[in-house]
Structure 1
Amino acid sequence: MTGLFATVQPESPMSDTLPPQPLLDDDALDRLDDFLASERVGEDALDLISSHGYLVALAVAPRELDPAVWIGELFQGEPAFADDAERDEIFGLLEALKANAIAALDQGLLPELPFELTLGGLAPEETPIGDWCAGFMEAVFLDEPAWFDDDEESAAALLLPFMALSGLFDDEPDMAEMVDPTRLEGLVQQLPELVLDLYLNYRVPPEKPKPSPRKKARGGRGKR
């Protein structure tokens, strides 16, 4: 089963592609972080890193979910918003992150993830990488039939890196056989491209040409 990992290879070196695209600017991420870390949000709600993974998965997902469903799952209850304006602001930031992920992936651009792409010798679940992948998988759990029913084997192969890095499946008997710990660092470095692979698999119709990560222009900077 470790052969599944061998099939996950980037289409081109990251150095040959445009820089990963931020899905929100720093001020917006800080605002979300402050709110999600505040006492007005329940302790079971996703934090910023997990929410980022969750929303990127929703951008990739085979079908749209009612916002009431995914927002309710993200917060695990209604936050104590100061007023309607704050509610609209926070919900707007969440929607914007998801929409920006779709826009970037639809152009073949790689998403910027909110952490360094290295485990640094730690187990994935001890890092933000594990939190992000756990958030990603939480979105998959919301609508598993949509992800798996058409081609379960292909879906499992594409999602296996996210499952392995999330730490949510460490107690599964088969996971230890499927996961080669020496390959985890390589999977982390490929995460943005693995997200694009999933998007192309689920969201791009067969008749539509599939974009590859855009190249830098020769002799100068790539287009913004």
Structure 2
Amino acid sequence: MAETSQPTPLLDDDALDHLDDFLESDRVNADTLDLVGTHGFLVALAIAPREIEPTVWVGELFQGEPAFADDDERREILGLLELLKNNAINALEQGQLPELPFDLELGGMAPEETPIGDWCAGFMEGVFLDETAWFENDEENAATLLLPFMALSGLFEDEPDMSDFLGDTMQQERLVRQLPELTLDLYLHYRVPPEKPKPSPRKKKPAGRKRAR
């Protein structure tokens, strides 16, 4: 039986800690996503059907321009964000599962009260940044693929379908455990075009017989 490959870290622990310290500092807008939400946001950008300019997503993430100490800190923080996003692209491109910054279990808590809900909420914020691109070509299939992220985020709890979809605690736990695989499924859906069937070789027509005169 083949061993299951370990999820791929998108940043090392020191880089994550440094990014966490900055996002929790008073130099960023109070509405800025925390580290877990930012991770989800950037993974969504790695999957997004079309590229979004850094000036756009950075402005959305920080709700404006943070009070960077100097240009060096600005380059460092923005570089870490870009690295996380690009590492997600590289991992997913190779069919690897991204390592998510939380344990894949709810422990009896509601999803929106856990880092799992924060990550999914950040992921959906990345989707909202260019919602048209995510839904324009195949709205029904896109909605099906995104439904677990929407349900676990807690952003749509007033929608009647969400409570039915989440069902019981066991269903919620199953969805949480599947998040890395669902992330890869989304990447394959949006970023890897389906293989075109190879054209069948043309059959040779039998040579026509000459008519007798």
Q: Quick check: TM above 0.5?
A: yes
Structure 2 unaligned segments of length 5 or more: list them.
197-213
Q: Which residue of 1 aligns with 2:47?
A: 60
Q: How does 1:76-91 map to 2 (within 5 A)?
A: 76-91=63-78
Q: Which residue of 2 aligns with 1:221?
A: none
Structure 2: distance between partners of 1:195 and 1:16: 20
Q: 2:15 aligns with which of 28, 48, 56?
A: 28
Residue 181 of structure 1 aligns with an amino acid whose one-letter code is D
Q: Which residue of 2 aligns with 1:100?
A: 87
Residue 144 of structure 2 aligns with an amino acid whose one-letter code is A
User: Which has the higher mean CA deviation after the structures are superposed, 20-29 or 179-188?
Assistant: 179-188
Does residue 16 (structure 1) correspond to residue 3 (structure 2)? The answer is yes
For residue 205 of structure 1, report the CA deviation from its aligned partner: 1.5
Residue 183 of structure 2 aligns with an amino acid whose one-letter code is V
Structure 2: distance between partners of 1:62 and 1:96: 19
Q: Deviations over 1:92-116 (max 9, x none)?
A: 0000000000000000000000000
Provide the alpha-carbon RMSD of the alignment. Answer: 1.4
Q: How does 1:178-193 map to 2 (within 5 A)?
A: 178-182=165-169, 183-193=171-181
Q: Which residue of 1 aligns with 2:121?
A: 134
Q: Deviations over 1:96-150 (max 9, x none)?
A: 0000000000000000000000000000011000000000000001111110111
Structure 2: distance between partners of 1:36 and 1:59: 20
Structure 1: distance between partners of 2:142 and 2:168: 21
Q: 1:149 aligns with which of 136, 146, 157?
A: 136
Structure 2: distance between partners of 1:30 and 1:91: 15
Q: How does 1:2-13 map to 2 (within 5 A)?
A: none
For residue 61 of structure 1, report the CA deviation from its aligned partner: 0.7
For residue 207 of structure 1, report the CA deviation from its aligned partner: 2.6
For residue 181 of structure 1, report the CA deviation from its aligned partner: 3.0
Structure 1: distance between partners of 2:3 and 2:177: 15
Structure 2: distance between partners of 1:153 and 1:103: 27
- Normalising by structure 1, we get a TM-score of 0.84
Secondary structure, counterpart of 1:131 in structure 2 = helix
Residue 88 of structure 1 aligns with an amino acid whose one-letter code is R
Structure 2: distance between partners of 1:123 and 1:16: 31
Secondary structure, counterpart of 1:19 in structure 2 = coil
Structure 1 unaligned segments of length 5 or more: list them.
1-12, 209-224
Q: 2:183 aligns with which of 173, 184, 195?
A: 195
Secondary structure, counterpart of 2:178 in structure 1 = helix
For residue 173 of structure 1, report the CA deviation from its aligned partner: 2.6
Does residue 116 (structure 1) correspond to residue 112 (structure 2)? The answer is no
Residue 36 of structure 1 aligns with an amino acid whose one-letter code is L
For residue 171 of structure 1, report the CA deviation from its aligned partner: 1.1
Structure 1: distance between partners of 2:5 and 2:165: 32
- Normalising by structure 2, we get a TM-score of 0.89
Which has the greater radius of gyration?
2
Query: Identity over aligned residues, as a percent?
Result: 74
